[in-house]
Structure 1
Amino acid sequence: MAIIKDIIKVNERLYRLSKEISKLSDDINVPTFLVGGCVRDLLMDPQKDATDIDIMIEGDAIDYAKKLAKKLGVKTIVPFPEFFTARIPYKECQIEVASARLESYAKDSRKPESVDMTDVTNDLKRRDFTINAIAISLVKNEFGTLIDPFNGIQHLKSKLLITPVNPDTTFKEDPLRMMRAAYFASKLSMNLDKKCLKSIKSNVDRIKIVSQERITNELFKILRTPKPSVGLIMLQETDLLKYVFPEIAVMYGLEQTSEWHHKDIFFHTMEVVDNAAKLSNDTNLRLAALVHDIAKPKTRRLHSKKGYTFYGHDDLGSRMLEEISKRMKFSNKTKNYIQKLTALHLRPISLAKKEVTDSAIRRLIVDGGEHLDDLMLLCRADITTKNPDNVKKYLSNFDRVEKRMNEVDKLDELRSFQSPVKGDEIMKMFNLSAGKKIGAIKSLIEEAILDGEIGNSHKEAIKFLNVLKKTDKFS
Structure 2
Amino acid sequence: MQSVAAAIQRLDAIADSTPVARLAEAFSAAGHELALVGGSVRDAFLGRSSGDLDFTTDARPDDILAIVAPLADAVWDVGRDFGTIAARVHGQSVEITTYRADSYDGTTRKPSVEFGDSLEADLERRDFTVNAMALALPARKLVDPWGGVEHLLEGTIATPGAPEISFGDDPLRMMRAARFTSQLGFTVAPDTQRAMAELAPRIEIVSVERVSDELSKLMLTDDPVPGIRLLVDTGLAQLVLPEVPALRLERDEHAHHKDVYEHTLTVVRQAIELEKARPGIESPDLVLRWAALLHDIGKPATRRIESGGVVTFHHHDVVGAKLASKRLKALRMPSDTISSVARLVELHLRFFGYTDGAWTDSAVRRYVRDAGDQLERLHILTRADVTTRNVRKADRLSFAYDDLEERIAAIQEAEGIAAVRPDLNGDEIMRILGLTPGREVGEAYKFLLDLRLDEGPLGPDEAERRLVEWYRTRGN
Compute the TM-score of the two structures, normalised by the length of structure 1. 0.92
Q: Read off the aligned partner of 2:164 and give its amino acid letter.
A: D
Q: Read off the aligned partner of 1:59 and give its amino acid letter.
A: A
Matched, 1:182 2:181: no
- Once residues 375 and 89 of structure 1 are traced to their aligned partners in structure 2, the CA distance between those partners, rounded to angstroms, is 43
Distance 1:220 1:450, change over 3 A: same
Matched, 1:36 2:38: yes
Q: Greater CA deviation, 50-59 or 455-464?
A: 455-464
Query: Once the two structures are superposed, what CA deviation does each residue of 1:186-243 show, in whole Å capped at 9, x if it has no partner?
Result: 1111111111111111111100000000001100111111111100000001000001
- Once residues 89 and 211 of structure 1 are traced to their aligned partners in structure 2, the CA distance between those partners, rounded to angstroms, is 31
Q: CA deviation at 1:265?
A: 1.0
Any unmatched runs of 5+ in structure 2?
276-283
Contact 1:348 1:376 in 2 (8 A): no
Distance 1:147 1:81, change over 3 A: same
Contact 2:347 2:371 in 1 (8 A): yes
Per the alignment, residue 278 of structure 2 pairs with none
Q: How does 1:275-424 map to 2 (within 5 A)?
A: 275-280=270-275, 281-305=284-308, 307-410=310-413, 413-424=416-427
Contact 1:86 1:98 in 2 (8 A): yes
Q: How does 1:20-169 map to 2 (within 5 A)?
A: 20-45=22-47, 48-61=48-61, 63-65=63-65, 67-68=67-68, 70-74=70-74, 76-88=75-87, 94-139=93-138, 142=139, 144-169=140-165
Q: Read off the aligned partner of 2:236 and give its amino acid letter.
A: L
Q: CA deviation at 1:68?
A: 2.9
- Once residues 458 and 83 of structure 2 are traced to their aligned partners in structure 1, the CA distance between those partners, rounded to angstroms, is 63
Distance 1:458 1:33, change over 3 A: farther
- Once residues 214 and 228 of structure 1 are traced to their aligned partners in structure 2, the CA distance between those partners, rounded to angstroms, is 18
- Once residues 437 and 210 of structure 1 are traced to their aligned partners in structure 2, the CA distance between those partners, rounded to angstroms, is 50
Matched, 1:234 2:230: yes
- Once residues 382 and 95 of structure 1 are traced to their aligned partners in structure 2, the CA distance between those partners, rounded to angstroms, is 44
Q: CA deviation at 1:424?
A: 2.7
Query: Once the two structures are superposed, what CA deviation does each residue of 1:226-284 show, in whole Å capped at 9, x if it has no partner?
Result: 1111000000010000011011121123212144x752111111111111222222111
Contact 1:65 1:88 in 2 (8 A): no
Compute the TM-score of the two structures, normalised by the length of structure 2. 0.92
Distance 1:168 1:324, change over 3 A: same
Q: CA deviation at 1:466?
A: 3.1
- Once residues 375 and 357 of structure 2 are traced to their aligned partners in structure 1, the CA distance between those partners, rounded to angstroms, is 20
Q: CA deviation at 1:337?
A: 0.7
Residue 78 of structure 2 aligns to a residue in which SS?
strand
- Once residues 392 and 62 of structure 2 are traced to their aligned partners in structure 1, the CA distance between those partners, rounded to angstroms, is 63
Q: CA deviation at 1:89?
A: 5.9
- Once residues 391 and 86 of structure 1 are traced to their aligned partners in structure 2, the CA distance between those partners, rounded to angstroms, is 56
Query: Once the two structures are superposed, what CA deviation does each residue of 1:353-382 show, in whole Å capped at 9, x if it has no partner?
Result: 421211111001111111101100011111
CA RMSD of aligned residues (A): 2.2
Residue 333 of structure 2 aligns to a residue in which SS?
coil
Contact 1:171 1:203 in 2 (8 A): yes
Any unmatched runs of 5+ in structure 1?
none
- Once residues 200 and 352 of structure 1 are traced to their aligned partners in structure 2, the CA distance between those partners, rounded to angstroms, is 46
- Once residues 98 and 411 of structure 1 are traced to their aligned partners in structure 2, the CA distance between those partners, rounded to angstroms, is 62
Distance 1:456 1:193, change over 3 A: farther
Aligned length: 464
Matched, 1:248 2:237: no
- Once residues 292 and 66 of structure 1 are traced to their aligned partners in structure 2, the CA distance between those partners, rounded to angstroms, is 55
Determine what percentage of the aligned residue pairs are the same residue.
31
Per the alignment, residue 220 of structure 1 pairs with 216
- Once residues 49 and 430 of structure 1 are traced to their aligned partners in structure 2, the CA distance between those partners, rounded to angstroms, is 65
Q: CA deviation at 1:78?
A: 4.2
Residue 95 of structure 2 aligns to a residue in which SS?
strand
- Once residues 415 and 98 of structure 2 are traced to their aligned partners in structure 1, the CA distance between those partners, rounded to angstroms, is 55
